């Protein structure tokens, strides 16, 4: 039954995202809300409509609220499957977390829209994100990491939210890259949640995946619409929260504690891109917040790939590394070490390829 429900939620989210983004695409073009090319960091050659991020947020919120309203409105009519009705008490218990997610994503999307209209300082956006992270932490979305120390929990939660939000924000530097990578990661997180019986998280991830794919139809190179900062922060922030409320370690099935590092492996490519580009900027003596063309995707193009090839290459690497993380829950410590070494090995290969190109230049 739940497989059918997941497919339905995914499909509903995909259609809602496609229709809303399509409408906003034309609206953005008509009112002149477009992203114009420049020589500093943008690689597109003509103005592209924005508002894709707003479309994703609206589709995400509509899908969730519409179905919650329907469940509570007609729960006694016999139309709602019994499998869902038995979970009502669980839905009620996580309602504060859901409200915190929807409320703070709304505020973050508003910030992103302002930034898309008139660019804000990186420090301003970071401070706003910090406040949002504090709000959701107070709302009960927390990384505990086997400790009851609230200070450690707060630091881990806030740092994680800020890191993943900005990783996907920085990754939005080539058509389809940030959204496609988020879709792959969301799919793997969905597999983790659904196979461990986490019905609520699985449903939200199914919805989120549908939203992303609905937008990717317009954003895959060559992009017909951009998500803007509103969209890149929305997907990074939402994914960071969903990874926190997801559960990876199960005492009854996990052989080691290593499943807790699943999010690090599944999101290895966005994290690698963020760290590497900040390191390059630091070595160059410029601010780590300075926009440039030193991202992984740009470096792959420098190696000789086309933009589409670079995006597809990152998709493939992202999927290969993330897929291996699914094994962590059933492996011994030595098996988990192999999975970790494999992920590090793949990233090292990319680094070596880049160094060879530099040596020959």
The structural domains of the chain, with segments of one domain joined by +, span 2-254
Q: What is the pLDDT of residues 310-319, one digit of tens each?
A: 999 999 999 9
pLDDT at 273: 95
Per-residue pLDDT band at 342 (split at 50, 70, 90): very high
- The token pair at 269 is 């490519």
Instruction: Give the residues across from 152 on adjacent strands.
Output: none
Looking at the whole model, is its pTM more than 0.95? Answer: no
Residue 85 pLDDT > 80, yes or no? no
**pLDDT exceeds cutoff 80 at 43:** no
> What is the pLDDT at residue 257?
81
Of 43-52, 70-79, 195-204, 298-307, the range with the lowest mean pLDDT is 70-79
42, pLDDT greater than 60? no
Q: What is the pLDDT of residue 56?
A: 97
- Per-residue pLDDT band at 237 (split at 50, 70, 90): very high
Q: Would you state the pLDDT for residue 156?
A: 95
Report the chain's mean pLDDT, rounded to a whole number: 89
Residue 251's pLDDT is 67
Q: What is the pLDDT of residue 284?
A: 86
CB-count burial class (<10 Å; 0-12, 13-18, 19+) for 323: middle
Residue 175 confidence class, pLDDT cut points 50, 70, 90: very high
State mean pLDDT over 262-277.
Answer: 95
d(CA 215, CA 226): 9
191-229 tens-digit pLDDT: 999 988 888 899 999 999 999 999 999 999 999 999 999
Contact 197, 203 (CB under 8 A): no
Task: Tell me the DSSP string of 227-268.
Answer: -HHHHHHHHHHHHHHHHHHS----TTT-SSSGGGGHHHHHTH
Residue 77 pLDDT? 67
* pLDDT tens track for 94-132: 888 888 999 999 999 999 999 998 889 999 999 999 999
Give dist(CA 55, CA 291) in Å, integer.
25
Task: Tell me the two tokens of residue 350.
Answer: 């990319």
Looking at residue 288, what is its pLDDT? 82
> What pLDDT sits at residue 89?
66
Higher-confidence position of 12 and 252:
12
Measured CA distances, 88 to 71, 79, 94, 96, 244 (Å): 9, 15, 10, 14, 22
Assess whether pLDDT exceeds 90 at residue 360. Answer: no
Share of the chain above pLDDT 90, in %: 61
- Contact predicate 187/193, CB 8 Å: no
């Amino acid at each position: 039954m739940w497989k059918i429900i997941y497919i339905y939620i995914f499909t509903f989210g995909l259609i809602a995202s496609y229709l809303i983004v399509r409408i906003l695409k034309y609206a953005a073009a008509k009112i002149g809300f477009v992203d114009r090319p420049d020589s500093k960091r943008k690689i597109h050659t003509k103005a592209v409509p924005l508002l894709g991020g707003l479309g994703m947020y609206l589709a995400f919120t509509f899908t969730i609220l519409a179905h919650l309203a329907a469940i509570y409105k007609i729960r006694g009519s016999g139309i709602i499957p019994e499998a869902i009705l038995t979970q009502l008490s669980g839905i009620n218990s996580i309602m504060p977390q859901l409200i915190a997610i929807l409320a703070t994503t709304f505020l973050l999307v508003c910030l992103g829209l302002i930034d898309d209209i008139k660019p804000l300082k990186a420090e301003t956006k970071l401070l706003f994100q910090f406040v949002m992270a504090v709000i959701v932490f107070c709302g009960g979305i927390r990384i505990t990491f086997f400790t009851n120390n609230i200070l450690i929990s707060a630091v881990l939660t806030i740092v994680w939210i800020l890191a993943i939000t900005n990783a996907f924000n920085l990754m939005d530097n080539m058509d389809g890259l940030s959204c496609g990578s988020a879709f792959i990661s969301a799919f793997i997180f969905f597999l983790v949640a659904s196979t461990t019986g986490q019905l609520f998280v699985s449903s939200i991830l199914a919805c989120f995946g549908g939203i992303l794919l609905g937008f990717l139809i317009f954003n895959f190179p060559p992009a017909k619409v951009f998500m803007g900062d509103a969209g890149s922060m929305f997907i990074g922030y939402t994914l960071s929260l969903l990874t926190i409320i997801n559960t990876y370690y199960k005492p009854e099935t996990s052989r080691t504690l290593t499943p807790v590092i699943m999010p690090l492996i599944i999101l290895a490519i966005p994290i690698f891109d963020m760290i590497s580009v900040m390191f390059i900027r630091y070595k160059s003596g410029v601010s780590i917040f300075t926009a440039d063309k030193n991202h992984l995707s740009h470096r792959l193009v420098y190696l000789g790939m086309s933009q589409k090839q670079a995006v597809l290459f990152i998709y493939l690497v992202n999927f290969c590394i993330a897929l291996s993380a699914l094994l962590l829950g059933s492996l011994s410590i030595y098996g988990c070490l192999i999975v970790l070494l494999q992920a590090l090995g793949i990233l090292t290969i990319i680094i070596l390829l880049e160094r060879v190109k530099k040596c020959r230049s």
